[in-house]
Amino acid sequence: MEKIFIFDTTLRDGEQIPGACLNPREKLEIAFQLARLQVDAIEAGFPISSPGDFEAVQGIAARVKGPTIVALARAVRKDIEVAWNAIKKAEKPRLHVFLGTSDIHIQKKFGLDRDKALERGLEALKFAKSLCPDVEYSTEDASRTNPEYLSRVVEQVIAAGATVVNIPDTVGYAVPHQFGNLISHLKETVSNIDEVVLSVHCHNDLGLATANTLAAIENGARQVECTMNGLGERAGNASLEEIVMTIKTRKDYFKFQTSVNAREVMRTSKLVSRLMGMPVQANKAIVGANAFAHSSGVHQDGILKDRATYEIIRPEDLGITEHAMILTARSGRHALRDKISKMGYDLDEEEFEGVYERFVSVADKKKRVYDEDVDIIVQDMIFAHLAGNKLYSLESYKVRTGNSEAPEARVRLRREEVILEASAEGSGPIDAIFRAIDKIAGAFHKLEDFQVKAVTETKEAIGEATVRVSREGHRALGRGSSTDILKASAKAYVEAVNRIHFLLEHHSQTCGSDNGSVVQGTSRAHNTA
Ligand code: KIV
Ligand code: ZN
């Protein structure tokens, strides 16, 4: 069966979501997981957009083996140079250059005409090609581009050395039949089209991203650009899990294959959701919490007789397991180390000891520790100890509350060797804790989002809190977990406050800012992708 190449852009288009803001360590962890998922290419970022993103892409290029590592650049020499510097150490580097081809982009964004825009694109492509043998060229807003002009651009960029040509539906405007026709128009009119991998990149503004992508495959596209959980600019991108599982489940119809290891889908989805602070809707296809929950009596009866009556995908094919091996307080270091390495984490001694200490305290409170608990403990430990980001850490807290008195919290935070303490009243115990933390930090943080969820379904489950706060134009996400949700919330808030402090100190580094712009050094540049 012919192969469809999976190009994952969770770390680039996905990370453009307001407030997503991953730091280099988090991006690296997601990239490792995408490599385990066996995608063909990882678009690691847009290096010119910020020093932090440059560092993240560079780290991924140096450490993640297997997939091609891609960096995005506008058709601008400086962008391309910076992108190349970020990925040149990768096992398989690829530069991704993009330039609008629709009249609205050419005239309104660049003030050019079609010929001049093509000239600019070719010049940029040739420069990229002089640095890197593998260059992808994206005709931004292709679905709203004059088809004859699009064919001309595609033919000339192939002649100039592009190895992949990408046809984006940048604004999610296409409908499946029409988008499929556009791909077959290119196959018919571009004389050298068979010299490249033809790719598509669909946005989900009309909820058609997956359908458009599949229509493109049927008409000759062989690379698809997608993101985990469908995250991405505005309404998101085509969802990786939907495309991969449609091809796999309906191989009778599509007759293609991908190299993705579907058993890693669920873990990848959870990791991305958690680190980006973007919960997956319960009824989301493939990875939603209800995707395999059968509630009607008729369905349950059918499932008990034969799962195939109402289930087209087996949960275990996505890596959803019935808690494989349960650990307890007596499991010891060996069993925990074994579990952690099977999950794919590579911890050094100090990190492992930190995880072990936390594991023992959780196992003391909860009788049984499930895989999901271990996952959260490891991630919490790794991501809470980000060098340079940790101004405050939670020492302790006390809350007094009841139905006839205003809740009051007393919080103690450590800042280096100093213990700082404050009390505050709030509308609820969590509000009181957050206010006390603000008092210690000497600043008000606007709470934009706050969620708590149980990691497993037992009563003593670990609760995971996610908070998103903003201050002075910066937004940050914090996470914390504990069997006590007040503690989880306090940890999450402290982490978010630390991150905001870090962003304010490093003004040139921001992401997911309100206006969708990204910062380059001291000058701002709009990320139009
Ligand atoms: O949506 C888009 O057109 C893009 C390009 C950079 C591929 O993200
Ligand atoms: Zn896009």
pLDDT at 465 over 70: yes
Cβ-based neighbours of 42, under 8 Å, separated by 6 or more = 8, 11, 31, 34, 35, 60, 64, 67, 68, 69, 70
* Residue 500's pLDDT band (cuts 50, 70, 90): confident
Question: Per mean pLDDT, which range of 344-353, 402-411, 484-493 is the poorest?
Answer: 344-353
From atom 4 of ligand 1, which residue's Cα is the shortest distance away?
529
Alpha carbons 202 and 225: distance in angstroms, whole number: 7
Any residues with Cβ below 6 Å from ligand 1, and which? 13, 72, 98, 138, 140, 166, 168, 170, 201, 203, 529
Phi, psi of 349 (to 5 degrees): -55, -45
pLDDT at 510 over 50: no
Instruction: Map residue 424 onto helix, strand or coil.
Output: strand
pLDDT at 524 over 50: no
Question: Per mean pLDDT, which range of 93-97, 262-266, 480-484 is the poorest?
Answer: 480-484
Whether domain 393-512 has CATH 3.30.160.270: the reply is yes
From atom 1 of ligand 1, which residue's Cα is the shortest distance away?
170
What's the average model confidence in pLDDT over 51-79? 97
pLDDT at 248 over 60: yes
pLDDT at 322: 58
Single-letter amino acid code for the residue at 449: D
Containing H/E element for 25?
A: helix 24-37
Nearest ligand by distance to the CA of 200: 1
Containing H/E element for 355?
A: helix 349-365
Single-letter amino acid code for the residue at 201: H
pLDDT at 19 over 70: no
Instruction: Map residue 357 onto helix, strand or coil.
Output: helix
pLDDT at 390 over 80: no
Question: Per mean pLDDT, which range of 138-147, 221-230, 352-361, 435-444 is the poorest?
Answer: 352-361
The residue that leads in pLDDT, 391 or 133, is 133
- DSSP per residue over 181-220, as a string? HHHHHHHHH-TTGGGSEEEEEEB-TTS-HHHHHHHHHHTT
The residue that leads in pLDDT, 510 or 390, is 390
Alpha carbons 498 and 390: distance in angstroms, whole number: 6
Give 135 Cα–ligand 2 centroid separation in angstroms: 17
pLDDT at 425 over 90: yes
Q: Domain spans of the chain?
A: 2-276, 321-386, 393-512
The residue that leads in pLDDT, 23 or 31, is 31
Question: Per mean pLDDT, which range of 7-16, 243-252, 374-383, 489-498 is the poorest?
Answer: 374-383
Give 43 Cα–ligand 2 centroid separation in angstroms: 11
- As a whole number, the mean pLDDT across the chain is 89
Pick from 337, 380, 368: nearest CA to 482? 380
Phi, psi of 424 (to 5 degrees): -155, 150
Contact present, 196 and 163 (Cβ < 8 Å): yes
From atom 2 of ligand 1, which residue's Cα is the shortest distance away?
170
pLDDT at 506 over 70: no
What's the average model confidence in pLDDT over 32-40? 96
Q: Is 108 exposed, middle or buried (0-12, 13-18, 19+ CB in 10 A)?
A: exposed
The residue that leads in pLDDT, 92 or 16, is 92
The fraction of the chain above a pLDDT of 70, given in percent, is: 92
Give 283 Cα–ligand 1 centroid separation in angstroms: 27
Q: What is the pLDDT of residues 281-337, one digit of tens each?
A: 989 999 998 888 776 778 777 878 888 888 899 988 998 865 556 788 788 888 899
| pTM assigned to the model | 0.85
The two domains 2-276 and 393-512 share their CATH topology (first three levels equal): no
Most confident by average pLDDT, 35-44, 270-279, 306-315, 402-411 = 35-44
pLDDT at 258: 98
pLDDT at 261 over 90: yes
In ligand 1, which atom is closest to the CA atom of 142? Answer: 3
- DSSP per residue over 290-305, as a string? TTT---SHHHHHHHHH
> How many C-beta atoms surround the C-beta of residue 468 within 10 A?
23
Q: Where are the beta strands (DSSP E) in 341-445?
A: 392-402, 405-415, 418-425
**What are the distances in angstroms from CA 524 to CA 51, 54, 504, 511, 520?**
13, 16, 16, 12, 6
In ligand 1, which atom is closest to the CA atom of 9? Answer: 8
**In b/e form, how buried is each residue of 159-185, taking b as 16+ CB within 10 angstroms?**
ebbbbbbbbbbbbbbbebeebbebbee
> How many C-beta atoms surround the C-beta of residue 43 within 10 A?
29
The residue that leads in pLDDT, 135 or 25, is 135
pLDDT at 503 over 80: no
pLDDT at 324: 55
In ligand 1, which atom is closest to the CA atom of 141? Answer: 3
Q: Is the dihedral of CA 320, 264, 71, 122 positive or negative?
A: negative
Q: What is the pLDDT of residues 125-172, one digit of tens each?
A: 999 999 999 999 999 999 999 999 999 999 999 999 999 999 999 999
pLDDT at 521 over 70: no
Query: CA 431: distance to chain centroid?
Result: 29
The residue that leads in pLDDT, 309 or 522, is 309
pLDDT at 444: 96
pLDDT at 118 over 50: yes
Give 374 Cα–ligand 2 centroid separation in angstroms: 34
Kindly state the tokens that stand for 322. Answer: 């019935």
CATH topology for the 2-276 domain: TIM Barrel (3.20.20)
> How many C-beta atoms surround the C-beta of residue 95 within 10 A?
28
Cβ-based neighbours of 176, under 8 Å, separated by 6 or more = 208, 211, 212, 214, 215
